[in-house]
Amino acid sequence: MQTSVKTKTLTMIQAITNGLDTMLEQDANVVLMGEDIGVNGGVFRATDGLQVKHGEERVMDTPLSEAGFVGAAIGMAINGYKPVIEIQFLGFIYPAYEQIMTHASRLRARTMGHFHAPIVIRAPYGAGVRAPEIHSDSTEALFTHMPGIKVICPSNPYDAKGLLIASIEDPDPVLFLEPMRCYRSTKQEVPDEKYVVNIGEGKVCREGEDVTIIAWGAMVPIALAAAKALANEEVSCEVIDLRTLYPIDRDIIAQSVQKTGRTVIVHEAHATTSVGNDVLAIINDTSFLFQKAPVQRVTGFDVPVPYFGFEDDYLPTTNRIVHAVQKVMNY
């Protein structure tokens, strides 16, 4: 007998709210912490209404001190809670960097498995919404460098809810990057019930034969738009959404680039010392002899993300991706 799954049409930010609400209902150890997340519902309203529904002891406003409330969350996690922290913007996370890299990420190894730090740190990130300085950083590579903390980056509402629930249930710390550009740009059918999307598994968003385009976060819709444009030139592009940046899905990268023989990596972070460079290393390690052309990268530039008047000149665009694909096709 078939059973139907009840769904709602949600934006990404609504799917995140739905995921938080689901876990607050199902797990009494889950608590939310952050600046202005209670009465105001957070800067992007991800926690709107949750304090009224679940109470001030489970949805807590914190002082303006990222190092303070991340440190407090680590202590709560050691004592059985599952804190979900909201950082208002990824660019504001740096005061808590020491807590994350020195304590949260090392706790399991430091205690030889006796203690874990099951915390989730949610952080809106990326450019494209005309935000001021420091609000648009895409510095995921600062965190993927440290073993012990997982780094997640969904690109659509369905994955956002499923990956967020998987992150809350994970015994280790997770940095959950939310692309602001995707918060309200699209809607998708999302199951109302609890479900998980497995951490560490990428997804083929579009199958193709000629070129692999690898992206994550807000760059996935741009990559798909480029693939659609290139289809008019009879170039068949396969688009991979990595979804998890650490641990990265090496298998899906190898399988796709060995099939197509040509690769373009797309991300909005700075080019130097980036996750894209790690993807390039994986291709060299697993698939070098399959390549028909040098791998191309389409990235942000090695400058701070500029003020919004120049933002479009900084970000990867459909045209830049199309040009890179034409370059590997004509090599």
Q: Determine if residue 216 is left, alpha or beta; phi over 0 gives left, psi from -120 to 50 gives alpha, anything else beta.
A: beta
β-strands 203-206, 237-241 pairing: antiparallel
**Helix segments in the chain, DSSP class H:** 12-26, 50-54, 66-78, 97-98, 107-110, 141-144, 157-169, 219-231, 250-260, 275-287, 311-314, 318-329
* Count of residues in the chain: 331
Please classify residue 57 by burial: count the beta carbons closer than 10 Å to its beta carbon, then call 0-12 exposed, 13-18 middle and 19+ buried.
Answer: exposed
Which of 57, 249, 36 has the alpha carbon at shortest distance from 47? 36
Please tell me the distance from the alpha carbon of residue 24 to that of residue 35, in angstroms, as a whole number: 18
β-strands 244-246, 150-152 pairing: antiparallel
Residue 204, SS3? strand
114 tagged catalytic: no
Please tell me the distance from the alpha carbon of residue 119 to that of residue 169, in angstroms, as a whole number: 9
β-strands 263-266, 296-298 pairing: parallel
Which residue(s) pair with 298 in the sheet? 266
Q: Which of these is catalytic: 135, 145, 267, 270?
A: 135
Please give the positions annotated as active site. Answer: 135
